[in-house]
Chains A and B, each alone.
Chain A
Amino acid sequence: MIGLSLAIGVHNLFLALVAVLFIVLALIGFVLIYGFYRYRVQNRINVWTRYIDMKITEAIVNGSHEDLDESVFNRLMKRSSFRSLFLERLVASEKNFSGVAHVEIRNLFVKYQLHLEALKRLNQRKSYMIIGGIQELTAMEAREFLPEIERFLHYKYANVYHEAQYAMVALKGFEGFNFLKTFSKPISDWQQLRLLNSIVNIPDTGTEQVMEWLDSQNTTVVVFTLKLIRKFQLFAFYDRVKECLYHQEVKVRVQAVRTLQTLEGFSTVDDLIESYDSQPQEIQLEIVKVLKAAKDSRFVEFFKTQLSNHTLASIRIIAAEALIALGLKDYLIELINNQETSEELILIVKHAMQVKRW
């Protein structure tokens, strides 16, 4: 190879390098021109954005769409990039308003047939374009296009089917969760948060489905369901949630403890205490937090034991805090002053005693 290279000789490279140099210079020129073009486009977008925002404000405030020069607006609406920006601004504004204003925004969407813009994106190949289209239809509550969105529930890319899932729930409510029954892929915390935020109620008829989701092989579906039960305080599922304390996945158990705390019944603390010893430290920590919050004097000895013997410092700290909450500050002071108390325990107790409870 090198021999070949040497044979070619440096001088013969000269012309090739000159050619490459010209190409690079041409590219610099192109990138520069395109850069300036993009800069102008950006400035134009800024102007348009202000113009569109004005249009939206006018619509919200006056309920009329005629205040601005319609001819100018209509002329701009012939431009795809303007329509796209208009739709984008509408969706962005939608988050900030509700009630009549929201209706006015939707009216603009309908009036200018911006759904066509959104639908066009659904047919793109790039996932972020599809996501944009779904987000726009969802924000504009374009339920008539649900079938268009539904086909993306099983799309190959997670970010696309996540968006479709969200759209289903946002537009169909509880019914939109139907996909959970068979959904085998993990649902991220972010997606769970969005889904939980978007659902406002659970119909009575939904119990069976919720029960079904708790049996899902998909851990994230179970976790999400537990969060759902917690949000809507579905007491009917107490026993079923209790069973989840022994779920094979720690993540599920953590959510089960937190949900049980929300669904607190007469036997909750006993149920938790019962399972305590068999749980890993992560779950024990969650249980101790619940027990601390319960302020049940029956567990004084339990807390004392945890404070003295547990290997996890965070549990010992909570145990000390629980004892303080139960009025055993003197016991802890005595513990601090005891010569035989270890340095670490003294530090833990002191740490717990100074915690501000704002």
Chain B
Amino acid sequence: MVGFAHILYEIFIWLFLVYSSAVFLIYVWIGIYALGAVVRYKKENTFTDYSKIAVNPNGPVFSLIAPAYNEGMTIVDNVRSLLSLFYYNLEIIIVNDGSKDDSMQKLIEVYELEVVSFFVQGKLKTKDIKAVYKSKNPAFKKLIVVDKFNGGKADALNVGINVSSGQYIVCIDVDCILEQDAILKLAKPFLQQTDKRVIACGGVIRLANNCVIENGKITSVNIPKTWLGRSQALEYIRAFVLGRMAWSRASGLILISGAFGAFDKEIVLKCGGYDSSTVGEDMELVVRMRRYMEDKKEAYEVVNIPDPLCWTEVPETKEVLMKQRNRWMRGTMETLWKHRELIFKRKYGKLGMISFPYWFFFEFLGPLVEFFGYIVFLLFLVLGIINWSFFLVLFALVISIGILYSIYAILVDLISHQVYTKRKDFLILIATAVFEPFYFHFIVVKASVGGFIDYFKKSTAWGDMTRQGFAQNTKGLNRKERIVAIGKYALQSFGSFALVFTMLFAIAVLAEWLWYMHVFGEMNLAVIGKNLLFQNFTFVIKTLLIGGILFIVLNFLKEKWARITIQIVGTLLVVGHYILFIYFSESNNLLGADLFYYSKNELQQILQAGDMLNFQNIALLVLLFMIVYIPFWLADKYRLKSIYTSVILLGIGFLAFLIPDTILSKSFGEINEFELNAGKSKWSYFAESSSVDFVQNQSFIAEFTGLFKGDTKEDSSTNKNYPFLKKENTPDLLGSYFNKSDVTPNLVVIVVEGLGHAYSSKNGYIGNFTPFIDSLAGRSLYWENNVSSSGRTFAVLPTLLGSLPFGKNGFLEMKETADHFNLYNVLKANGFETGYFYGGNVSFDNAKPFLKYSQVDSIIGVESFGPPYRKLPESNGESWGYEDQAVFGKMMEVKDVQKEPYFNVALTLSTHHPFLINDTKHFEEIFQRRVKSNELSDDQRKWALENKKQLVSVLNLDEALKDFFKEYKKHPDFKNTIIVITGDHSMPEIPFETKIDRYHVPLIIYSPLLKQNKHFRNIVSHFDIAPSVLAFYRENYGLITPTNVTWIGNGLQIDERDNRVGIPIMQAKTILNDYIYGNYHLVGDQVFKLDNRLSEENVEDELELNRLKTNFEKFKKRNAVFYEQKKLMPDSIYNSYKKINIPKP
């Protein structure tokens, strides 16, 4: 898990690099393309004689429209400036948008205005006009002043369009100062059009700040005094001289500035004029006009000319600037949203395929990506995973590219139209290019992010994008209509949530697949990918159906609840997916209902020891929550226009429920067990496991469904109330392999955590990484094909020591330990001294009550250790406990020469996740030697390298065991001791080839008393050990053992015959799904045939399937009876044995 933050770091870096590279390439393209456009324009127009159209009465009429709101201070001068423009057929329309100052009064006085009866021909919907004024003075005959009620800039422009009589309209801000030939230059592209209709044309806007203005004309150009102003001067050069020229040349321009732009009135009218519901009316209009032309399939152009035609005052205070940029961002978002269907639509040509995506990904997302980058940077800074040298180089590169682009823009401007001719101004502009990224840029980003947030905050005032709530819409409807309206509304709302959920889940699944690619490298990723996609898709559509129905129902109760619930649940599901797949990758186990059977402390210990509960991961989780929640929050702001999306999704979900699970959960391709699990929907598994567990816990449901206890009737052959009770008749099959000792031999059982066959034998698919154990097996009774009774540690003690059934969630999970016989209490009754040695917390997995019940004399847990014993290295301040060397050391410590025999059980720990050991280096060297040795095949070597960390810990265990034996041999007891070594299960952190691999563990019985070694290949299980051991002691050393027992196993088989005793296996505390009978392995509804290496392959054998299922069901029923009765045997049987006075050996 530690690596997860680093991987995330790398992913962010790469995404950032990819995005930055895209931005860089676009800037390069803009730079080159704009230069060509600017140079061409300049050269072509060197000798253009504009005077020809300036005085031509046959030229088209241009209507200049200038909306004004509270411009009383400057309006008279500004209008004078406009009246001096060169163009014969020009009408100037000033629209007073309900100013509260004296604008109108001043205009009336200065320009001798009088109210006229004016028939407004345009039909655009606007606020009412109060009056139309014209001048009595012929000198101002071009002037029309419209006084109207306030309605905003777009509304005022629409009024101007309605009033205008021109073929073209020129929309400007009234405070702009136009060059006198501005209209002439704008008119040229319209007059030059031939095969392509020019629908809009814009010019370069420059800054009037600090310039000398006389009689409404710029007489001396100076660069602004403030750095904010200078930065904007530079920004305007970049935007107009580079950006818009390049896009104009590429026929991709979608923004003509509202401060100055000319439009073909006919197209404007056909499109419905300006949209007064948006703050980005200028861009929105151009997009709508282009869209109209594309729909009509008419050739058209939107043109920008590089002549500086318009001068405007820009804000020079931070507050006003931020407000302006906030508005621009909102305007951009409104336009992108309103015309969202254009994006990537081939039908809309460059508009849909290039311009719109560019605006979305770079103009809109740019500031947000940058801002997000800062957040991530801070996060990584706090997490301490910043590579500073790398970061500084990257930062310097980004800044340098920005500076380069700015300086290049200044150069291009210099080549085209040098505005800032003074040397000092030129140098200041260069200096601005260097400083701007460190100051101005951050303000703009901040304001844009503010605009982004405000867009959603203020969205309630904006037209069809808004969420009005249905309450007001359903007023006055009858009940039926109301139900339909609410249902429709709920479906529309659900649609947006469903799309967001599907998208986020798809991203999560992709992340899962990429994560596996990173972590598990060599797996069959293509098949896993297919399975992930298919199974998660099934999960998503099923979830959507259930969620959709609940959402709609909740909507009828209270809309707000429904919206809040769906946001929270959606977020939890998506985040949960990340947690589940990371859990799987860390533990190689699917998380199921077993989660609920760990206590809070146990969970905490697992998480901390696994290095999960560290600050980095918690911070990442919080970040993930935020990132996932935001799209849901956004989805809450919108609802789809139609219900079809929801209906289709719900329909598919419904169909998914109709298709049998066997089809939906079918996996693609030839894959091993681990790959199969990797491809599963983690949520599906968790949900299914939890629901089954829940049903099992609810007796009334269980009875109804018959899922667990429905039929507790036992077959006639067994005791109705104590189905596991039977006469003890286990044959002594070990005795013949041992020399008889004078005294009763000691018994030591060593249970090695995660000791799988795969890596403890040269026959395993990973190879031999336990050289000592392997050599010991050669000198012992060795059952190669032994299986454990569970996939986790929780079942090993009851199975191994008592051959006990599982009950509901494992024998140890029972609230009160049911009376039973096990090695501890039987041997203790026969005078053995008993002990349990564990380096960790004995209470883990509820082992302590079991040990207490068995009256174990010495229970050695983590608290019993101290120096010089070493703990396992801490992970996130938490260690599982003491290393294996310590556990074995402790066993030796208490092993003085004893009169009574002893029985000790040791459970090791070092080979548990997170596989942190002391002396890592030493064992890594051993690992490397083994990997390089010829003992491993190429396949084994590949497996080994992929699971190095786990195998290094195995080597550590092996050496610890070797040292233990070395020490033990020195002890006089050794020659009279029987040592049983086995694994509790195979490590799930090492991928399984087949399903049986999870349980395939070695069983070794070694003793100096052994007459011979023997290698057995028949299938045995942990259930067989206790019966056989007791039979051995009973038959050879006269120990008194119970006559009635509840063993699941029938004792170890030492011949090659088939196993005819069923072996039930519980994968986890809630999953009782595996069963071995004969040479067949049942998993759910699948049957696998086992060979003499305990490899298996899936077979379609109905007969075996039925046989296995029948036997497994029998076991389950017996187990259910036990769980129901909470007793294994009548008190009388147990007590009668306890009362027997057993002579000490």
B397 cross-chain contacts in A, Cβ below 8 A: 17, 20-21, 24
Contact yes or no, A190 B191, CB < 8 A: yes
Report Cα–Cα, A338/B193, bound state, in Å. 48
Of B43, B47, B194, the contact of A188 (CB 8 Å cutoff): B194
* Residues of A26-80 contacting chain B, CB below 8 A: 27-28, 31-32, 34-35, 38-39, 42
Report Cα–Cα, A158/B59, bound state, in Å. 21
Q: List 5 A-B contacts (CB under 8 A).
A: A11-B387, A14-B389, A31-B404, A35-B414, A350-B117
The closest CB in chain B to the CB of A121 belongs to B43
- One of B9-17, B803-811, B1055-1063 contacting the partner: B9-17
Contact yes or no, B400 A28, CB < 8 A: yes
**Nearest CB of B to A103, in Å:** 20
A215 cross-chain contacts in B, Cβ below 8 A: none
- Whether A81 is near chain B, meaning CB under 8 Å from some CB there, is no
Please classify the interface of chain B as helix (H, G, I), strand (E, B), loop, or mixed, using the class held by over half of its residues: helix
Contact mask B35-55 → A, CB, 8 Å, 1/0?
000011001101101001100
B134 cross-chain contacts in A, Cβ below 8 A: 356
Contact yes or no, A193 B52, CB < 8 A: yes
Report Cα–Cα, A34/B415, bound state, in Å. 11
The closest CB in chain A to the CB of B410 belongs to A35
Contact yes or no, B52 A32, CB < 8 A: no
Query: Given contacts A28-B407, A132-B46, are A38 and B415 in contact (CB under 8 A)?
Result: yes
- Whether B394 is near chain A, meaning CB under 8 Å from some CB there, is yes
Of B14, B121, B138, B404, the contact of A358 (CB 8 Å cutoff): B138
Contact yes or no, B393 A186, CB < 8 A: no
- One of A1-9, A105-113, A300-308 contacting the partner: A1-9
Contact yes or no, B53 A193, CB < 8 A: yes
Contact mask A183-195 → B, CB, 8 Å, 1/0?
0011111110110
B318 cross-chain contacts in A, Cβ below 8 A: none
The closest CB in chain A to the CB of B397 belongs to A21
| Top 7 closest pairs, chain A to chain B, by CB | A350-B117, A351-B119, A128-B43, A190-B191, A186-B194, A358-B138, A189-B191
Contact mask A163-186 → B, CB, 8 Å, 1/0?
000000000000000000000011
- Whether B354 is near chain A, meaning CB under 8 Å from some CB there, is no
Query: Given contacts A17-B397, A188-B193, are A10 and B13 in contact (CB under 8 A)?
Result: yes
Report Cα–Cα, A220/B192, bound state, in Å. 12
Report Cα–Cα, A350/B131, bound state, in Å. 14
B620 cross-chain contacts in A, Cβ below 8 A: none
Contact yes or no, B396 A10, CB < 8 A: no
Q: How many contacts A-B (CB < 8 Å)?
A: 143
B400 cross-chain contacts in A, Cβ below 8 A: 21, 24-25, 28
Contact yes or no, B43 A6, CB < 8 A: no
Query: Given contacts A38-B411, A313-B121, A314-B121, are A159 and B10 in contact (CB under 8 A)?
Result: no
- Whether B418 is near chain A, meaning CB under 8 Å from some CB there, is yes
**Nearest CB of B to A350, in Å:** 3
**Nearest CB of A to B443, in Å:** 23
B138 cross-chain contacts in A, Cβ below 8 A: 356, 358
B118 cross-chain contacts in A, Cβ below 8 A: 351
Contact yes or no, A35 B411, CB < 8 A: yes
- Whether A283 is near chain B, meaning CB under 8 Å from some CB there, is no
**Nearest CB of B to A158, in Å:** 7
Q: Which of B134, B194, B396 gathers the greatest number of chain A CB atoms within 10 Å?
A: B194
- Whether A354 is near chain B, meaning CB under 8 Å from some CB there, is yes
Contact mask A105-143 → B, CB, 8 Å, 1/0?
000000000000000000000111101100110010000
B13 cross-chain contacts in A, Cβ below 8 A: 10, 13
- Whether A18 is near chain B, meaning CB under 8 Å from some CB there, is yes
- One of A88-96, A241-249, A267-275, A323-331 contacting the partner: A88-96
Contact yes or no, A32 B407, CB < 8 A: yes
Contact yes or no, B390 A132, CB < 8 A: no
**Nearest CB of A to B523, in Å:** 12
**Nearest CB of B to A4, in Å:** 10
Contact yes or no, B10 A188, CB < 8 A: no
* Residues of B493-529 contacting chain A, CB below 8 A: 514, 517-518
Contact yes or no, B46 A186, CB < 8 A: no
- Whether A353 is near chain B, meaning CB under 8 Å from some CB there, is yes
Of A2, A28, A42, the contact of B14 (CB 8 Å cutoff): A2
B625 cross-chain contacts in A, Cβ below 8 A: none
B47 cross-chain contacts in A, Cβ below 8 A: 91-92, 95, 132, 135-136, 139
Contact yes or no, A11 B390, CB < 8 A: yes
B404 cross-chain contacts in A, Cβ below 8 A: 24, 27-28, 31
Contact yes or no, B10 A6, CB < 8 A: yes
- Whether B430 is near chain A, meaning CB under 8 Å from some CB there, is yes
Report Cα–Cα, A158/B196, bound state, in Å. 12
Q: A: which residues have CB within 8 A of B?
A: 2-3, 5-6, 9-11, 13-14, 17-18, 20-21, 24-25, 27-28, 31-32, 34-35, 38-39, 42, 88, 91-92, 95, 126-129, 131-132, 135-136, 139, 158-159, 185-191, 193-194, 197, 220, 313-314, 317, 344, 347-348, 350-351, 353-354, 356, 358
Contact yes or no, A186 B195, CB < 8 A: yes
Contact yes or no, A131 B407, CB < 8 A: no
A24 cross-chain contacts in B, Cβ below 8 A: 397, 400-401, 404
- Whether B33 is near chain A, meaning CB under 8 Å from some CB there, is no
Of A6, A136, A185, the contact of B11 (CB 8 Å cutoff): A6
- Beyond the given A35-B410, A351-B116, please list 8 additional residue pairs across the A-B interface where CB-CB is below 8 A: A2-B514, A5-B14, A21-B397, A31-B404, A31-B408, A42-B421, A351-B119, A358-B138
- Whether B403 is near chain A, meaning CB under 8 Å from some CB there, is yes
Contact yes or no, B188 A10, CB < 8 A: no
Contact yes or no, A354 B117, CB < 8 A: yes
**Nearest CB of A to B188, in Å:** 6
A17 cross-chain contacts in B, Cβ below 8 A: 390, 393-394, 397
**Nearest CB of A to B306, in Å:** 13
The closest CB in chain A to the CB of B44 belongs to A128
A220 cross-chain contacts in B, Cβ below 8 A: 194
Contact yes or no, A350 B119, CB < 8 A: yes
Query: Given contacts A10-B13, A185-B194, are A354 and B52 in contact (CB under 8 A)?
Result: no
B394 cross-chain contacts in A, Cβ below 8 A: 17
- Whether B426 is near chain A, meaning CB under 8 Å from some CB there, is yes
**Nearest CB of A to B945, in Å:** 15
A31 cross-chain contacts in B, Cβ below 8 A: 404, 407-408, 411
**Nearest CB of A to B148, in Å:** 16
A197 cross-chain contacts in B, Cβ below 8 A: 52
Contact yes or no, B9 A10, CB < 8 A: yes
- Whether B225 is near chain A, meaning CB under 8 Å from some CB there, is no
Contact yes or no, B430 A32, CB < 8 A: yes
Query: Given contacts A6-B11, A188-B191, A351-B118, are A13 and B518 in contact (CB under 8 A)?
Result: no
**Nearest CB of A to B130, in Å:** 15
Contact yes or no, A347 B407, CB < 8 A: no
The closest CB in chain B to the CB of A35 belongs to B411
**Nearest CB of A to B114, in Å:** 9
Report Cα–Cα, A25/B722, bound state, in Å. 85
Report Cα–Cα, A91/B517, bound state, in Å. 70
- Whether B458 is near chain A, meaning CB under 8 Å from some CB there, is no
- Whether B141 is near chain A, meaning CB under 8 Å from some CB there, is yes
Report Cα–Cα, A10/B14, bound state, in Å. 8
Contact yes or no, B393 A131, CB < 8 A: no
B49 cross-chain contacts in A, Cβ below 8 A: 95, 194
Report Cα–Cα, A66/B277, bound state, in Å. 69
- Whether B7 is near chain A, meaning CB under 8 Å from some CB there, is yes
* Residues of B639-690 contacting chain A, CB below 8 A: none
**Nearest CB of A to B491, in Å:** 37
Contact yes or no, A3 B396, CB < 8 A: no
- Whether B1086 is near chain A, meaning CB under 8 Å from some CB there, is no
- Whether B698 is near chain A, meaning CB under 8 Å from some CB there, is no
A354 cross-chain contacts in B, Cβ below 8 A: 116-117
* Residues of B118-162 contacting chain A, CB below 8 A: 118-119, 121, 134, 138, 141
Contact yes or no, A42 B414, CB < 8 A: yes
**Nearest CB of A to B183, in Å:** 14
A5 cross-chain contacts in B, Cβ below 8 A: 14
- Whether B84 is near chain A, meaning CB under 8 Å from some CB there, is no
The closest CB in chain B to the CB of A314 belongs to B121
Contact yes or no, B141 A356, CB < 8 A: yes
